[in-house]
Structure 1
């Protein structure tokens, strides 16, 4: 409802654009009377490329029809009678129009709401000077483009008016020319008349002929000048069209494609395509109008040939306008939804291509078919250099043909490839240390468009962003590295698919931060301290000064080809493991600020030793991909009076699939305060799993809990101190009479003050639980036996 209130306050061109969104496909009265209901529905939850969600779209259609009928029934009295009839009619109209294609209704409403939001946002940015320099620049650029369109519209209207004048003048000239011929014919017929009468008539006709021929001579010169002036005006208009088209295609569209590429690594969504389409459609309208005017000039010139350079000028104008329209059509054939950039064979994937000027040029009157093929980097280079006229393929894609469809509601002409699958891939010979996950391919989409009733035919091609083909999920990590490096550092207009071998560390930091924030779905990205930690890891450095890394460069090999010092994995593999762990299991805790993460062992020790016993923090494991450990400060059980920092064996995705981080922290009563001084329940209690208190079907459900044996001895209740711990086993047996407490114990040889662990000595938690369930063991006996 709030959006509709704002939309009604639009002024001028913005108001006209908003009104143009509505028509018979979706009447504006429906938007007005159902504003609150429309804005409360989850239109964006429907995936228009997934046929399986048609039922969801159908429910939204049925609900809209029901809401219209309900609204109609509420109308009463004389004033509401007509509205009642109108709303009831709209309900019937929606049912009959969209019942067989409910996706079209969803697409229509999504387009309307997005366009309204854009128009309101642009109006707000224009009227408010405090939105920031970037928004001011964007608004100013859009204003310049719209102003240029207005100048082009006026110029085109002026040449149209001049062309009509020329046509009228030429028609009158032809009439007078015919009059001259008639006079000449009359003079020729005078020979049969008597001499006296012939002389009188001849004098009159010759005088009249002289007058007409003098007028024709003057008018021929005027017409020739008229034609030349008009051709000059057309030349100026075409120059303005070229400038406007260059601005839109070579700047705005390229920037949109760059935003689309950055979205592949977590950048802002590449919205604004509807704005680009509206500009491209205006260009198409103006270009076609000018082309028709030039064609009419040609017709007038052929109808009345006059001496001069008009034929040559018109040929040039024709060639120029054809070049302009060709560039527009071929450049606006774009990929709206990119195929996945890490492409697994034998796996279904989707993509959408769109022609931004399809509706205006009536391309849909002869629906074109689009074909998709996968090509190698070398083949892509040959295509762009026009060295290859046919599309060689590097693999076989199933369901790779699709007919473009015109959607009346949104005015878009697009082809939705919903069920493509890469059946096989043909790889090229690799160079040096290059692996299969560094080899890049691309999906080539090609079609043929007829414009103006087959008057012009264009063969169009467009390449997807680079894709890396994998055959197994284990290759995903390295393939993602190739994609991230390409998306982050590719230059516009590059030769496919050239990227720099090394970049500034600060540039990589921007890309990593973008990726991290996108995966966490929050604004909390990587801090300066986090980036210093990553620099230390990437460069095997000990410097804590961010300035030391500012001008350093990192190579692709350092990023994801060479292993980190003393490790069996690369920098990217470690970072990606952290991202995957956080995304799958720890996202809420990161967004709450509960995880420091990027802290090394020595830093953790220095931080914790200055805090009371029981203070702990969460940091990522240095030695294991996708691991996180708990470090805490406590008394040394073996030496009274000595305080140590302990590091728990790192948890991985496998561990959190058994028991969550919050529950594991809840299990460990010796953990009291999250660094620096936040009581742990204040931070984690909202994520604890409620205990099971009732048997299910006569069975008592066991619980899995973890124990650190060194820290399960009974302690008195804390009173002023922070070193008192409650025995987990005693607490469990006393408080859960209906539950059999199951403990996944961590034995002494799995834990030491330095946090160095022997992974071979660890026991799979699930297997351990299974053993304990078969063979119940008293936890105090277990503890005592370990102590002995």
Structure 2
């Protein structure tokens, strides 16, 4: 059963906020998090009504803190782990004198948590019916296996009693014969009774053996489903999650099934051994020869357990550097990364049983066939013992202090193909030996292919390779030479992955209109709807531009993007179409199509003298947005006509939302606060974004490639402004002075 707190951690942000509010002003949330196991193991409802029980529960918390602190000292993990002494001091200070108060708080909070989980469960009921039904069917099979195993245990115990009764009856009869007690006819009756009982026992044994076979056949179906269906599906979901897909990659279901099946298989083998022991012990009273069938059944049970255990070791968290958690599978030499493995058969008897060792590029044939293939090694030989190290009690080992260094010399290989650094794929395998209850087997779990870079400049290209590979390669064994001749992606595949990038960074994916614009830019008029690797990632490929926008969103526009304020991917031509029928002052936000580092602009419509004009401001870049956030730029933006400021032309965010309604909650500065706020004796100043004489772009007489529109329009406006400013201000703007100088000059006032 998964810990209640772990279930809460899987909820969406809104429900998690409700949980957080439960503890505000009552108990630090960190205490609930780090002590979740011991908190949920105590009866706080009873403790809330009994001070002695409350004191007992309180002392249990202190003992747990002491154990965890000692463990941190032993593992040399004081700085990285939770502040257990600090938590203990807090509890002592606030609740030592009143443990009943703590019990009341936790009793109420735990009940409210359950209500929130119930709400989430009801909502999930409307989720994926097919998946829910499939998992329900598997649950039913596992529960049926448990029921049958439980019944088997009772019946074998009953058989033991029958054997003992028969043995007692035979021994008593023999004693009576020796002592000449009773008549001959009574002896015949007893002998017949013994024979009849022996036949019943023989038949019972055969029935029990058939029951065991039936249990194992059901188990065989379950094991096949787990290892051949559910586990590969989870691995595929994890693979998609690595490149941004919002799928559930929790291992809770798999761990529950693997654990239960392993436990029941061990019990079946235990009952089979008892049956074999009885067969040997009471062989004198039973003429049946069941040793052969029992050996075959034991062999069958062992093979099922071997298959289950061999697949139970998984990479729960793929390799990732701490600075790029959202972009795993990229490792930089000499930079620390972490990776976590888990053993899904989480039984107490398996604790400390497995010692896992990571091996880099184990059995990788590409190292021998690809020219110039690099070879790496870990900074140190490291093994981890799988231990209970998570709140939900999972058998987990985290390798958190690993980094790679390149070995001198590269394999010459036998191929003429030579891959680039960001196209060379490697794997990390985790190996262990399993020995328990007569079963011995080697375990192995492999990471997804990783790319090893030596410079941060290679991150952009490396992530393109990670996305491309994991979209295409869906099964094992992994094709580590995929980029020797990379297959193309369909636009449907690529568009989904691109949408996931924005969902990961900005909490909102791309809609159909945004994807349509990107399709025109990336695919063009190609009839096959395919995107080739070289066009996407190489040189001036589309990915460089898109990644620049992703970085812009991440650093400066997350809130606006998440809330749908930014239209983003819309061409200038499409902008004209959208705005020309709107009321004056309607504006929209779109990304620059020419700035490779990521920039955003706003376009607005103006209707004067029966004519419609759509204006666009020069795009704002990351350095500019670092000085002033985009909502403030829009709020304070002004137009300057000759020597007068005509005011802010931006009134309604497309389609018709007043800008203060749409953006007001994001404002950090306003003209009013700028004149009133005093800092160290000075009135705070605000740089006011101003544009001068915007020239409305005429309808183009010819088709201009939209990829060049921003650059052409900006250049044209800049030239007109330079000439006009020199005429209006000859003393300040001499030949060679640009409109940018005016912008710099005006911003100082």
Render the CA deviation track for 1:460-485: whole Å, top value 9, x for unaligned: 22112222111111111111112222
Render the CA deviation track for 1:360-402: whole Å, top value 9, x for unaligned: 4x112x45332223226825999xxxxxxxxx98422447332
After superposition, residues 151-162 of structure 1 pair within 5 angstroms as 151-162=144-155
Q: Is 1:274 paired with 2:252? A: yes
Give the equivalent residue in structure 1 for 2:428. 443
Distance 1:496 1:381, change over 3 A: farther
Give the equivalent residue in structure 2 for 1:465. 448
After superposition, residues 733-744 of structure 1 pair within 5 angstroms as none
* 1:618–1:628 Cα contact (<8 Å) kept: no
Give the equivalent residue in structure 2 for 1:321. 301
Deviation at 1:287, TM superposition (A): 0.9
Give the equivalent residue in structure 1 for 2:575. 604
* 1:649–1:757 Cα contact (<8 Å) kept: no
Deviation at 1:513, TM superposition (A): 1.7
The 1-side partners of 2:353 and 2:498 are apart by 43
Deviation at 1:583, TM superposition (A): 1.6
Distance 1:423 1:710, change over 3 A: same
Q: Is 1:261 paired with 2:242? A: no
Distance 1:143 1:231, change over 3 A: same
Give the equivalent residue in structure 1 for 2:10. none
Give the equivalent residue in structure 2 for 1:101. 68
Distance 1:406 1:346, change over 3 A: same
Give the equivalent residue in structure 1 for 2:403. 421
* 1:509–1:531 Cα contact (<8 Å) kept: yes
- Among 629, 640, 643, which residue is 1:660 paired with? 629
Deviation at 1:138, TM superposition (A): 3.4
Give the equivalent residue in structure 1 for 2:511. 527
Q: Is 1:560 paired with 2:527? A: no
- Among 208, 224, 227, which residue is 1:230 paired with? 208
The 2-side partners of 1:307 and 1:758 are apart by 105
The 1-side partners of 2:254 and 2:112 are apart by 14
Give the equivalent residue in structure 2 for 1:75. none
Unaligned runs of 5+ in 2: 6-17, 70-80, 88-105, 321-328, 369-373, 640-648, 697-708, 719-727, 740-749
Moved more, 336-345 or 160-169: 160-169
Give the secondary structure class of the aligned counterpart of 1:101: helix
Deviation at 1:61, TM superposition (A): 6.3
Deviation at 1:214, TM superposition (A): 6.1
After superposition, residues 64-463 of structure 1 pair within 5 angstroms as 83-101=50-68, 120=118, 124=122, 131-132=125-126, 134-175=127-168, 221-268=199-246, 270-305=248-283, 310-340=290-320, 341-360=329-348, 362-364=349-351, 366-375=352-361, 378=364, 394-398=376-380, 400-407=382-389, 410-424=392-406, 432=417, 434-452=419-437, 455-463=438-446
Distance 1:294 1:440, change over 3 A: same
Distance 1:681 1:204, change over 3 A: closer
The 2-side partners of 1:286 and 1:441 are apart by 38
* 2:545–2:598 Cα contact (<8 Å) kept: no
The 2-side partners of 1:643 and 1:477 are apart by 42
* 1:370–1:446 Cα contact (<8 Å) kept: yes
Distance 1:787 1:125, change over 3 A: closer
Distance 1:144 1:615, change over 3 A: closer
Deviation at 1:411, TM superposition (A): 2.9
The 1-side partners of 2:390 and 2:598 are apart by 52
The 2-side partners of 1:42 and 1:519 are apart by 32
* 2:316–2:342 Cα contact (<8 Å) kept: yes
Distance 1:456 1:679, change over 3 A: same
Q: Is 1:474 paired with 2:457? A: yes
* 1:613–1:634 Cα contact (<8 Å) kept: yes
The 1-side partners of 2:21 and 2:635 are apart by 44
* 2:159–2:201 Cα contact (<8 Å) kept: yes
Moved more, 283-292 or 602-611: 602-611
Q: How large is the RMSD of aligned CA atoms in angstroms?
A: 4.9
* 1:614–1:632 Cα contact (<8 Å) kept: no
Larger radius of gyration: 1
Render the CA deviation track for 1:324-361: whole Å, top value 9, x for unaligned: 2222222222222222211122222222222222334x
Distance 1:114 1:679, change over 3 A: closer
Distance 1:43 1:456, change over 3 A: farther
* 2:19–2:113 Cα contact (<8 Å) kept: no
* 2:650–2:659 Cα contact (<8 Å) kept: yes
Moved more, 400-409 or 628-637: 628-637
* 1:180–1:212 Cα contact (<8 Å) kept: yes
* 1:446–1:460 Cα contact (<8 Å) kept: yes
Deviation at 1:408, TM superposition (A): 8.8
Deviation at 1:238, TM superposition (A): 0.3
The 1-side partners of 2:123 and 2:650 are apart by 49
Deviation at 1:274, TM superposition (A): 2.5
Render the CA deviation track for 1:116-171: whole Å, top value 9, x for unaligned: 58973686369xxxx54x53333333332332233223322332233234333434
After superposition, residues 660-679 of structure 1 pair within 5 angstroms as 660-670=629-639, 671-673=649-651, 674-679=653-658
The 2-side partners of 1:787 and 1:515 are apart by 38
Moved more, 428-437 or 246-255: 428-437
After superposition, residues 753-768 of structure 1 pair within 5 angstroms as 754-756=713-715
The 2-side partners of 1:780 and 1:258 are apart by 67
Give the equivalent residue in structure 1 for 2:97. none
Calculate the TM-score normalised by the size of structure 1: 0.68
Unaligned runs of 5+ in 1: 1-16, 23-34, 47-55, 73-78, 188-200, 383-391, 542-547, 562-567, 713-721, 723-749, 760-777
Render the CA deviation track for 1:652-686: whole Å, top value 9, x for unaligned: 32332233333443454134244455554554454
Give the secondary structure class of the aligned counterpart of 1:417: strand
The 2-side partners of 1:238 and 1:645 are apart by 74
The 1-side partners of 2:620 and 2:250 are apart by 43
The 1-side partners of 2:678 and 2:166 are apart by 105
The 1-side partners of 2:734 and 2:128 are apart by 69
The 2-side partners of 1:156 and 1:595 are apart by 60
Moved more, 286-295 or 465-474: 465-474
* 2:588–2:604 Cα contact (<8 Å) kept: no
* 1:333–1:353 Cα contact (<8 Å) kept: yes
* 1:609–1:633 Cα contact (<8 Å) kept: no
The 2-side partners of 1:144 and 1:280 are apart by 15
Give the secondary structure class of the aligned counterpart of 1:378: coil
